[in-house]
Amino acid sequence: MKRKILRKGFLIIEMILYVAFIAMDLFHMDSSVVKYTGVVLCFLYSLAIGNTEGLLAFLFTLLADYFLLIRNDTYLFGILSFVVVQSVYAHILFCRGCRFLVPVRVLLLIISFSVLFLMGRFDLLNAVALFYFSLLSGNFLSSLTGKENRTLSAALFLFLCCDICVGLFNLIQGGPIYRFASMMMWVFYLPSQILLAIGQEVDLLSFLFRKKQD
């Protein structure tokens, strides 16, 4: 019962923060603190329910968002922190018996680096960013091979959508796609973190349709 109340309170607060930062972004207000608060709450919720499996990932997520969102000037350290995050999820997927899909992961990395070379934009920051993206993509595909990973799959899919928007935001300067990507990054990102926080105790579909008792 206490866990159910905690979960509902967590989701209500996150929804308020979600609506708040979307409204602030629409009116071109600085919403960094509101967004970061949402991620901090995901970490605190995971800590409260004893989600030790994903706690390390959330610690490095906080670190990454501090560099990329709050400071907004230490991009390499931020992306490296996200590499650690996806490495943790890769380990979790492996422990759950999901196929690691090594050939697919290597192919994604080769394609990513080839695109960088062709665009003439190969440098350390972009190389680390694409390594991270290939790791995230591989994790999402791996999660689809498991039988009980619907919440994690949904979270990683939203994570992937967020990073596609980040890529578009950095590659395209101006125009409707740039504005759309700028708006949608956190629209996808915070729900992914919420799903990762609740995913250890509640299956996504069961949670949505109220079929699983606490």
pTM of the model: 0.88
Domain regions of the chain by residue span: 2-209
CA torsion through residues 195, 196, 198, 201, sign: positive
Predicted confidence (pLDDT) per residue in 59-102, tens digit: 999 999 999 999 998 899 999 999 999 999 999 888 888 888 88
pLDDT digits (tens, 9 = 90+) for 11-47: 999 999 999 999 999 998 999 999 999 999 999 999 9
Whether residue 182 is predicted with pLDDT greater than 80 in this model: the reply is yes
Q: Which of 14, 143, 166, 174 is nearest to 82 (CA)?
A: 166
